[in-house]
Amino acid sequence: MKKNIFSTKGLTKVYGEGHSAVHALRGVDLDIPEGEIVVLLGPSGSGKSTLLNIIGGLDRATDGDAFFQDRNLSDMTDRELTRYRRDHVGFVFQFYNLMPSLTAHENVELVTEIARDPMDPGDALNIVGLRDRVDHFPAQLSGGEQQRVAIARAVAKNPTVLFCDEPTGALDSTTGRSVLKVLRDVNEKLGATVLIVTHAASQAAMADRVIHFADGSVREIVVNETKLTPEEIDW
């Protein structure tokens, strides 16, 4: 039996107050086992990104608890949340969020400088296949290359968990596939749990577990017995 890396109890998030209140999460109870690739699927506004933000330590729940291993994120101070992100979490975003003033190598170093147990920045770039482009600035890289630098940056700290919010949203199919391949490699080689938020249903085929969201609640959880490789996915 695998241990849960995340579990939530009655997790609720409300934006605004009174009539204009928006319920982004309506009491979500969820367990996510460690070491898996998990895809969170659902239409926009269904609450999947909100969940990711809360368990990623970027936002706070209005009510309920979110446990990372056995620590309750809801009880953490800002300082502790920063520590949590720094030590355990890697993020990959739709728009890469690289520092334009730093080279690919330096963008990765940005994280390895502050991480507790980082890998060599060169190795991280090797994993994403960018060994030749280490001295290039973001402006000199394609979208897919920038996203791979972002992934290298996320994995270089040897994260416990990797959060990806629409990681292929701005990419074409070929580049998108290569990014997904990198994510799968990270999961297999480093053992990191990978959480991918997407609204592209086809990507669910590469996941160990697919969580369907609708109206701020979990509608269905599907465990894939057989996973497809990124190359096999319909785009």
**Rule CB under 8 A: which residues touch another protein?**
53, 58-59, 78-79, 82-83, 85-87, 89-91, 93, 95, 97-103, 106, 109-111, 113-115, 135-140, 146, 153-154, 157, 170
Say if CB 107 and CB 135 are below 8 A apart.
Answer: no
Query: Three-class SS of residue 40?
Result: strand
What's the angle, vertex CA 166, arms to CA 80 and CA 224, rounded to 5? 95
Say if CB 28 and CB 8 are below 8 A apart.
Answer: yes
In this structure, the strands spanning 209-214 and 37-41 are: parallel
Least distance (Å) between residue 169 CB and another protein: 11
Whose Cβ is closer to another protein: residue 99's or residue 201's? 99
Q: Which residues are bridge partners to 212 per DSSP?
A: 41, 220
Q: Is the sign of the CA dihedral 172, 176, 177, 182 positive or negative?
A: positive
Least distance (Å) between residue 2 CB and another protein: 26
Whose Cβ is closer to another protein: residue 36's or residue 165's? 165
Output the furthest CA–CA distance in the chain (Å, rounded): 55
Q: Beta strands of 184-234 (E only): which ranges? A: 193-198, 209-214, 217-223
How many Å apart are CA 183 and CA 194, to the nearest integer? 7
Least distance (Å) between residue 117 CB and another protein: 13
What's the angle, vertex CA 54, arms to CA 153 and CA 198, rounded to 5? 65
Say if CB 4 and CB 33 are below 8 A apart.
Answer: yes
Least distance (Å) between residue 37 CB and another protein: 21
Whose Cβ is closer to another protein: residue 42's or residue 121's? 121
Whose Cβ is closer to another protein: residue 41's or residue 111's? 111
Whose Cβ is closer to another protein: residue 26's or residue 86's? 86
Whose Cβ is closer to another protein: residue 97's or residue 173's? 97
Least distance (Å) between residue 220 CB and another protein: 26
Least distance (Å) between residue 171 CB and another protein: 12
